[in-house]
């Protein structure tokens, strides 16, 4: 199985990584696309990728951290992409949901990172909340013409074809299999089956209890965090939703991941 988006470098997971990694492997997870969010966590992402063959590093400045990021981050990002030819660009994007958001600064940072993704010919992982029109506008103004994943897509159904035409894949997280998120999941009926990926977004986006196979507590609050091994439950839930066998789900996700990550219609990159 392939987790197309998570944050294994998050302290909730990283401090227990020696226990968590064997649990991930035992669950049958073969690939982990680990997304950085700001310069402060890029080293941890790189270290995970260099010491664990399952990990694919993505480096990016998340819109939540744009306003507080120090100057020079673009040079640091460029250095990461130059030193790791397998790395993607992410998690990047736009977010109007956060309080006191500075959309102008977000757009500048997003545009800069899209340009790097184009320059280095890397796939991108995009975060977007309540900024779908702005996202289309930024994509259209950018030289970026590559492949991008709209992770945990929660946008309008009527924009799916627009994004497909611009090179999008769309990921479903376990969170969308909650009963109160049925409307979000229904949007994926309009996504071409070859453009769907699955993710945990661990340690966030906790799935419904029925899909939680491995428990994990946040040390600061004691609340449940999302364990990457819960990808097994996400795959099962998707199989039921799509009306296909678990084997077909695995094969479909391998093909779709290869197309997004490597741009090839095969499974070599998995």
Residue pLDDT, tens place only, 246-262: 999 999 999 999 999 99
pLDDT digits (tens, 9 = 90+) for 84-124: 999 999 999 999 998 888 999 999 999 999 999 999 999 99
Q: In angstroms, how far apart are the furthest CA atoms of the chain? A: 49
CATH number for position 121: 3.20.20.140
Which pLDDT score, from 0 to 100, does residue 160 have?
Answer: 98
> Does some domain include residue 217?
yes
| Residue whose tokens read 């664990």 | 52
User: Is 269:262 a contact under the CB 8 Å cutoff?
Assistant: yes
pLDDT of 72 over the 90 cut:
yes
Which pLDDT score, from 0 to 100, does residue 99 have?
Answer: 85
> Does some domain include residue 121?
yes
Measured distance CA(62)–CA(68) in Å, rounded: 11
> Does some domain include residue 269?
no
Buried b (16+ CB within 10 A) or exposed e, 230-249: bbbbbbbbbbebbeeeeeeb
Measured distance CA(148)–CA(163) in Å, rounded: 9
Q: In sequence order, which residues have a C-beta less than 8 Å from that of residue 237 and are 6 or more positions away?
A: 174, 177, 207, 211
Average pLDDT over residues 58-68: 96
pLDDT digits (tens, 9 = 90+) for 123-169: 999 999 999 999 999 999 999 999 999 999 999 999 999 999 999 99
DSSP assignment string, 211-240: G--S--B-TTT--B---GGGHHHHHHHHHH
Domain count, the chain: 1
Categorize the per-residue pLDDT at 264 as very low, low, confident or very high, splitting at 50, 70 and 90: confident
Q: In sequence order, which residues have a C-beta less than 8 Å from that of residue 88 and are 6 or more positions away?
A: 33, 56, 57, 58, 59, 117, 122, 123, 124, 125, 261
User: Is 113:94 a contact under the CB 8 Å cutoff?
Assistant: no
Nearest to 35 by CA among 62, 64, 11: 62
Find the angle CA(39)-CA(43)-CA(49) to the nearest 5 degrees. Answer: 130
> Does some domain include residue 219?
yes
pLDDT of 58 over the 70 cut:
yes
pLDDT of 174 over the 60 cut:
yes
Categorize the per-residue pLDDT at 265 as very low, low, confident or very high, splitting at 50, 70 and 90: low
Quote the mean pLDDT of the chain: 96
Categorize the per-residue pLDDT at 75 as very low, low, confident or very high, splitting at 50, 70 and 90: very high
> Does some domain include residue 148?
yes
> Does some domain include residue 163?
yes
pLDDT of 39 over the 80 cut:
yes
> Domain of 130?
2-261
> Does some domain include residue 268?
no
| Residue whose tokens read 């649990």 | 23
Categorize the per-residue pLDDT at 11 as very low, low, confident or very high, splitting at 50, 70 and 90: very high
> Does some domain include residue 179?
yes
Q: Determine phi and psi for 62, rounding to 5 degrees.
A: -65, 145
Q: In sequence order, which residues have a C-beta less than 8 Å from that of residue 108 and are 6 or more positions away?
A: none
């Amino acid at each position: 199985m392939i987790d197309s988006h998570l944050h294994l470098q998050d302290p909730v997971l990283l401090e227990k990584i020696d226990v968590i990694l064997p649990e991930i492997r035992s669950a049958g997870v073969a690939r982990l696309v680990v997304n950085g969010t700001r310069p402060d966590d890029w080293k941890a992402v790189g270290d995970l990728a260099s010491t664990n063959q399952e990990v694919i590093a993505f480096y990016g400045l998340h819109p939540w951290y744009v306003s507080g990021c120090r100057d020079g981050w673009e040079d640091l990002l460029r250095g990461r992409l130059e030193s790791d030819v397998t790395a993607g660009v992410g998690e990047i994007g736009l977010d109007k949901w956060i309080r006191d958001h500075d959309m102008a600064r977000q757009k500048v940072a997003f545009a800069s990172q899209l340009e790097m993704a184009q320059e280095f010919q890397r796939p991108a992982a995009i975060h977007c909340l309540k900024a779908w029109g702005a996202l289309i506008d930024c994509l259209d103004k950018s030289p970026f013409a590559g492949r991008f994943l709209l992770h945990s897509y929660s946008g309008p159904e009527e924009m799916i074809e627009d994004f497909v035409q611009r090179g999008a894949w769309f990921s479903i997280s376990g969170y969308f299999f909650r009963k109160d998120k049925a409307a979000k999941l229904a949007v994926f009926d309009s996504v071409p089956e070859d453009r769907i990926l699955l993710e945990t977004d661990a340690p966030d986006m906790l799935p419904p209890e029925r899909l939680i196979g491995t428990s994990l507590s946040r040390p600061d609050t004691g609340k449940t965090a999302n364990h990457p091994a819960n990808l097994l439950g996400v795959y099962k839930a998707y199989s039921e939703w799509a009306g296909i066998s678990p084997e077909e789900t695995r094969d479909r996700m391998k093909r779709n991941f290869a197309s997004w990550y490597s741009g090839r219609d095969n499974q070599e990159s998995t």
